[in-house]
Amino acid sequence: MRCFVAVELPPEAKALLSRVQHDAMNLGVNASFPDGRGLHCTLAFLGEKSDDEVRQTMAQLQQVRHNKFAAQVAGLGFFPSPAFGRVFWAGFESPGLTELQKKIVEALALAEDKPFAPHVTLARIRSKTNLPGLASYAQKQALSSSPFTVAEFVLKKSVLSPTGAIHETIAKFALV
């Protein structure tokens, strides 16, 4: 099964980001948009795992110790850049996310190929059709959610379907 570790967002933050997705869709951008109900911040993508590997991963994640912390959705951007956008995202203000991600990567002995940039993927851009319009929209937004407390992280599996990925929680891990 295809697995990843993530922090889920509270309903208020998901509603805010769903409105941003709706605005982007109305701009005529050629993109796929993940279901707003499943928006999350991925801390580690694990790829395909067997049942035994998932059990081992769960045991490793149970060893992660981290305090609860505050987070806030803030700002919009593109990977790799607005002019060549492939991913449209919302960022975070939260040193706690970076600290938690580092502990998870260490616990799972993962090799990082690029620096961690906490974000929520709002759209995957298929072509440059009205990408300048989306970039202009993103630049004009002063996006900021209310602060929320991150009290847990989750191990999820991603099931691919014709309508997009469906994410199912395998396990939850409480922060102290």
Residues in the chain: 176
Tell me what pLDDT residue 160 has: 82
Is the pLDDT at 161 greater than 90? The verdict is no
Q: Tell whether the torsion through CA atoms of 12, 15, 21 and 26 is positive or negative.
A: negative
- pLDDT band, very low/low/confident/very high, at 163 (cuts 50, 70, 90): confident
Q: Is residue 37 left, alpha or beta, with left meaning phi > 0 and alpha meaning psi from -120 to 50?
A: alpha
Structural domains of the chain, with CATH = 2-174 (3.90.1140.10)
Q: Is 161 exposed, middle or buried (0-12, 13-18, 19+ CB in 10 A)?
A: exposed
- Per-residue pLDDT averaged across 66-71, rounded? 98
Percent residues over pLDDT 70 in the chain = 100
At residue 114, the pLDDT reads 87
| pLDDT, tens only, 47-58 | 999 999 999 999
Mean pLDDT for the chain? 95
Q: What tokens were used for 52?
A: 């035994």
Is residue 159 over pLDDT 90?
no
pLDDT at 165: 82
pLDDT of residue 112: 84
Q: Answer yes or no: is pLDDT of 164 > 80.
A: no
pLDDT of residue 146: 96
The tens digit of pLDDT for each residue in 103-152 reads: 999 999 999 888 999 999 999 999 999 999 999 999 999 999 999 999 99
Contacts 24+ apart (CB under 8 A), 79-85: 79/117, 82/131, 82/135, 82/138, 82/139, 83/131, 83/135, 85/125, 85/131, 85/134, 85/135
